Amino acid sequence: MSLAALRPGGEDSKRALARALAKLERDPDSAASQALLDEAWRHPRAAVVGVTGPPGVGKSTLCATLVAAWRKAGLTVGVIAVDPSSKTSGGALLGDRVRITTDAADEGSFVRSMAARDRLGGLADQTLAAMVVMRALFDRVLIETVGVGQSETDVAGVADTVLFCVQPGSGDSLQFMKAGIVEIPHLVVVTKADTGISAEKARRDVAGALSLAGAGPDGWPPRTLAISARSGAGVDALMAALEAHRAHLAQEGRLAIARHRQSEGWVREALRERYGTRGLARLAALGLDAALPAGGQPFERLRELSSLLERPR
Ligand code: GDP
């Protein structure tokens, strides 16, 4: 299994990618999976955008709009749709429960649906691995997840740019102000601006709340926008804001720092899941932790630390 066969546009590449991702979910520790992850890790290509927000706010519709806009600009797009409702299945099938609609015949876009399992709240525990593979293949990767509780934080663990959706008149914006959200999104999008309910008021409320919070961890003051996926109003401004954040990350090594932080967080969570807090304590007793050396690869680090913890004492 190598990246070359999975590249968009190649013969049968969509099917090959679906198979590779299924294998990765089924058997993440196999030599083939790890080799694919190693290769993908070394060749990041895409900017990764995470979209979150409560059910019904318009995420799927917005994601379809983003895919169409990127495709029109000549960019290839991979989508990971994290399905919160199916916790039991061991990896949703391609096409299973996919709510975002894209052109199936389009070789330049690909949608993968994943079942949210328990670990990362709303996020499937294999999301990082799927993201890393898709990041090496496409120009943009979009991760859609339902915002319940911690998922803004969760999606920040896999996306470079976090976009949070709120609906005007729904109380979402009030909720937003009260929540004291842990992770400040880079962009807050007020959806359905065509409905006549004041999207602009909701936008101002959120902007007011965010101005008190200041800049997020990468020094980007969050932006708020009102858009209508239905009429297309505000979509260009949203595309421009996404590109602006990407340009911001490209400066002063911010992207590398953010991705490094994500990787360390993932290693820590994966260790906690596998070995519990006792495992982490044992590592600490050995003078080790989840910290990665600069440029370190999380899957490799997990392998190393796992083999230490599994060594008979
Ligand atoms: P999700 O659950 O957050 O993914 O929300 P969906 O994308 O499924 O949208 C929920 C409902 O809102 C659907 O009935 C959509 O047709 C509708 N919707 C989404 N975007 C817009 C919009 O821009 N304007 C209007 N009027 N309705 C929208």
> pLDDT, tens digit, for every residue of 95-123?
334 466 667 788 899 999 887 665 444 45
DSSP letter, residue 188? E
State whether the beta carbon of 224 lies less than 6 angstroms from ligand 1.
no
In the chain, which segments carry CATH 3.40.50.300?
A: 3-252
pLDDT single digits (tens) 157-206: 899 999 999 888 877 666 665 655 556 789 999 999 998 778 888 898 88
Q: What are phi and psi of 22, to 5 degrees?
A: -65, -40
- 224 in Cβ contact with 233 (< 8 Å): no
State whether the beta carbon of 170 lies less than 6 angstroms from ligand 1.
no
Q: Is 145 helix (H, G, I), strand (E, B) or coil?
A: strand
With bands split at pLDDT 50, 70 and 90, how would you rate the model's confidence at 149?
A: low
Q: Smallest Cα–Cα separation from 34: which of 8, 12, 69, 1?
A: 1
pLDDT single digits (tens) 4-23: 999 998 888 999 999 999 99
Q: Hey, what CATH class is 3-252 in?
A: alpha beta
- 144 in Cβ contact with 51 (< 8 Å): yes
What pLDDT score was predicted for residue 124? 55
Of 61, 165, 189, the one to substitute when testing ligand 1's pocket (max ligand atoms within 8 A of C-beta) is 61
**Angle made by CA atoms 255, 260, 256, in degrees to the nearest 5:** 25
Task: Supply the mean pLDDT for the chain.
Answer: 84
Q: In what order do the strands lie in the sheet with 77-83?
A: 109-115, 77-83, 140-146, 47-53, 161-166, 187-190, 223-226
DSSP letter, residue 162? E
What's the token pair of residue 299? 């899957």
Closest residue by Cα to atom 12, ligand 1, is 58
What is the percent of the chain with per-residue pLDDT over 70, rounded to a whole number? 84
Distance 58 CA to ligand 1 centre (A): 4
Tell me the C-alpha distance between 48 and 134, whole Å: 9
Q: Smallest Cα–Cα separation from 230: which of 60, 44, 14, 38?
A: 60
